[in-house]
Amino acid sequence: MGLTPDAQIGQPAPEAVATVRRLLCAYADTLAVIDSLPLVPMVATGWHWRSRTSVPIRLPRVSWMLRSLMLWHIDRVLAGAEQRFHQRSALGIAGAGEADALGAVAEFRASLPARSRALRVGVLALAALVVAQLLVRLMPRHLAVDTRLPTAAATNQLFDSTLGALQLTANSVGSAVDLLFKASPAVLAGAVVLLIVSLYLILRPVASAFRLKRLLLNLYPEADTRWCNTPASWSMSRSAGVYRLEQETFEMLKAGVPVEPPLDLLVSLPIPIIGVAWLVGLVAVANAQTVGSEVRGAVIALVICGAPAAARLAWLAAVWRARHGDPRSAWLFTEEVIVPWGSKPVRCRAPALIGWVSLLVPLGYLISSLFSRS
């Protein structure tokens, strides 16, 4: 399948019109692929993918908000292109055919269904508050935390007042602001942590759809036949297919492509940070009972947990740079090499990953020994 610009009919289209039409055809084809996807698509995983490219191991992937994410992506890029066309026209540097290209971009944007971003952000904030309030009420029951603790009670009261402020009455807004300024640092810190956890729980399925969106854009023009046999992790550090057409369009306009918000990377960011903070607290408490020094326990925990957290953060940063055209990091990504004694390429795994995995056993033994002495 695929749409082709009708540049062959009549006179050849100018370069600007041809470049823009290639991008618009790519967007239309990708939206058609999304419409043909099942409700729960079975997407390939990275397990044994290199050796089973034709029949990979597939798992269901959440596609909730996939079409909305694609429409927001298209609208953001085309809005940037439209703005650049207007700037070049106002400065008198527009080339041949740019007026027709601008008309095509504006017409394609007008054909897209409306998506209220402000409404969805508001619903997301409200859902985060509701989930955080549920967490603060469920945590004492399942984690054996006393509900009469002042921190838990104050945090619950803070969320109650914030939700009550949505009524937009003078009393509700005033009480919420008053509680916010009177809350202790421990209550505010607990509220922030709960909000981060609730946002992660809500955005995790959206991040899955975001990676599926990147996979479809990277696989163009073969997305309709290859999306079920290519893992989403393959496209995380690449910008090919439609991304390359976007780059060509904005190079013609002497401008940069609008930055794509790295939703999947931002959702993955709190995992190493919160995990390290939690392990630091556990090891610090265990070491304080035996050695009597919480500072020493915190230092030991940082040394133990800092390596995997630093590797994770470095990997996220490398993925972000690779998406913008920088070379893929050989220290963090696996590559394929050709060896003279084999007929198939051999996967060369990242040294940082091998070093981290090799330290799991001794680090686990050290942590268990610290707790066994308590």
Range from 45-49, 122-126, 218-222, 296-300 carrying the lowest mean pLDDT: 296-300
Q: Which pLDDT belongs to residue 370?
A: 58
Q: Which pLDDT belongs to residue 175?
A: 62
CA distances from 56 to 43, 49, 227, 235 (A): 9, 6, 12, 16
> Percentage of the chain surpassing pLDDT 90?
30
Range from 155-164, 204-213, 233-242 carrying the lowest mean pLDDT: 155-164
Start-to-end Cα distance in the chain: 66
pLDDT digits (tens, 9 = 90+) for 189-235: 667 777 787 888 888 889 999 999 999 999 999 999 999 999 888 88
pTM: 0.75
Higher pLDDT, 210 or 135: 210
CA distances from 352 to 189, 238, 268, 277 (A): 33, 20, 19, 22
Per-residue tokens: 366: 């050290």
* Among the listed residues 61, 68, 180, 40, the one whose alpha carbon sits nearest the alpha carbon of residue 124: 68
Place of tokens 């050290």: 366
**Cβ-based burial of 92 (10 A; exposed 0-12, middle 13-18, buried ≥19):** exposed
pLDDT band, very low/low/confident/very high, at 315 (cuts 50, 70, 90): confident
Sequence ranges of the domains in the chain: 15-113+206-260, 269-374
Most trustworthy range by pLDDT among 93-102, 294-303, 355-364:
93-102
Mean pLDDT of 334-343: 57
HEC profile of the chain: CCCCCCCCCCCCCCHHHHHHHHHHHHHHHHHHHHHHCCCCCEEECCCCCCCCCCCCCEEECCCCCHHHHHHHHHHHHHHHHHHHHHHHHHHCCCCCCHHHHHHHHHHHHHHCCCCCHHHHHHHHHHHHHHHHHHHHHHHHHHCCCCCCCHHHHHHHHHHHHHHHHHHCCHHHHHHHHHHHHHCCHHHHHHHHHHHHHHHHHHHHHHHHHHHHHHHHHHHCCCHHHHCCCCCHHHHCCCCCCHHHHHHHHHHHCCCCCCCCCCHHHHHHCHHHHHHHHHHHHHHHHHHHHHCCCHHHHHHHHHHHHHHHHHHHHHHHHHHHHHHCCCCCCCCCCCEEECCCCCCCCEEECCHHHHHHHHCHHHHHHHHHHHHHCC
Tell me the longest C-alpha to C-alpha distance in the chain: 85
Higher pLDDT, 49 or 127: 127
Amino acid of residue 366: L
**Whether pLDDT at 138 is above 60:** yes
Amino acid of residue 174: G
Question: 211 φ, ψ to 5°?
Answer: -70, -35
Question: 335 φ, ψ to 5°?
Answer: -130, 165
**Whether pLDDT at 62 is above 60:** yes
Mean pLDDT of 67-96: 93
**Whether pLDDT at 294 is above 90:** no
**Whether pLDDT at 166 is above 90:** no
How far apart are alpha carbons 351 and 187 in whole angstroms? Answer: 42
Q: Chain-wide mean pLDDT for the chain? A: 75
Mean pLDDT of 225-249: 92
